[in-house]
Amino acid sequence: MSVFFILMKSRMLQHSVLPFCLTVVVLLLVQSCEGSLSAKSRLIADKGIVALAGDDVILSCSLVPANSASSQTVVWTRPDLDPKYIHVQKDGQPVCSSQNLLYFNRTALFEEELKHGNVSLKLSRVKISDGGKYFCFVQSVVWAVSIKLTVGKSAVSCF
Ligand SMILES: *[C@@H]1O[C@H](CO)[C@@H](O)[C@H](O)[C@H]1NC(C)=O
Ligand SMILES: *[C@@H]1O[C@H](CO)[C@@H](O)[C@H](O)[C@H]1NC(C)=O
């Protein structure tokens, strides 16, 4: 809100009525959007994860408030890859056809956790090339969230 007050203040300093009115309209629009979005869940995720090559990691992402995601489409992507799909799940089943082959047989969601809105991704046997920015989407939510995975070389790994 404080941003808008600053905005309004700077607008009023210009002694012009039109910009002031526009600001009020924008303010009202933003408020009504915030109102309708807050009725639904949003996603929260870890900011970043650090792992060593060969580790199994959990990229944490969940709905708040915790609505069930069991029957929702859940999508994990890495937009810097082509195909960008890391893990896609529809009607409780993984959709393997769209998956980037680099992630074959290394991804899973926690089935029991989905009903608590927890759509965290388990990524097994991480490689150096897995380092990057991952996005978590759930069908009912407007905004995706991202998590950065950093993978370091392990002393004993061959990757
Ligand atoms: C998938 O990974 C498991 C180890 O977690 C391995 O035992 C299995 O053979 C792999 N399946 C395929 C099809 O590569
Ligand atoms: C989601 O489930 C995973 C696996 O059980 C767990 O490690 C993680 O802490 C859970 N996240 C939340 C927010 O409960």
Mutate to test the pocket of ligand 2, among 110, 112, 122, 124 (most ligand atoms within 8 A of CB): 110
Q: Is residue 98 within 8 Å of residue 88, measured between CB atoms?
A: yes
Among protein residues, the one whose CA lies closest to atom 14 of ligand 2: 118
DSSP labels, 26-71? HHHHHHHHHHHHHTS-EEEE-SEEEEETT--EEE-EEEES----TT
Q: Give the Å distance between the CA of 147 and the centre of ligand 2.
A: 15
Q: Which residue has the higher pLDDT, 97 or 37?
A: 97
Mutate to test the pocket of ligand 2, among 42, 60, 147 (most ligand atoms within 8 A of CB): 60
149 SS3 class: strand
Residue 87 scores a pLDDT above 90: yes
Give me the residue label for tokens 């929260």: 44
C-beta 58 within 6 A of ligand 2: yes
Helix or strand holding residue 85 (H, E): strand 85-90
Distance CA 16, CA 19 (A): 6
Structure confidence by residue, pLDDT tens digits, 11-58:
444 554 444 434 444 444 444 444 344 447 899 999 899 999 999 999
Confidence band of 68 (pLDDT split at 50, 70, 90): very high
User: Could you give the C-alpha distances from 94 to 69, 99, 151, in angstroms and in order?
Assistant: 14, 9, 25
Q: Is residue 42 within 8 Å of residue 141, measured between CB atoms?
A: yes
The predicted pLDDT at position 91 comes to: 87
Which atom belonging to ligand 2 lies closest to the Cα atom of 44? 13
Structure confidence by residue, pLDDT tens digits, 133-152:
999 999 999 899 999 999 99
Q: 69-105: buried (b, 16+ CB within 10 Å) or exposed (e) per residue?
A: bbebebbbbbeeeeeebbbbbeeeeeeeeebbeebee
pLDDT cut 70: percent of the chain above it: 73
Average pLDDT over residues 115-126: 97
Which atom belonging to ligand 2 lies closest to the Cα atom of 60? 11
**Global pTM exceeds 0.85:** no
Average pLDDT over the chain, rounded to whole?
Answer: 82
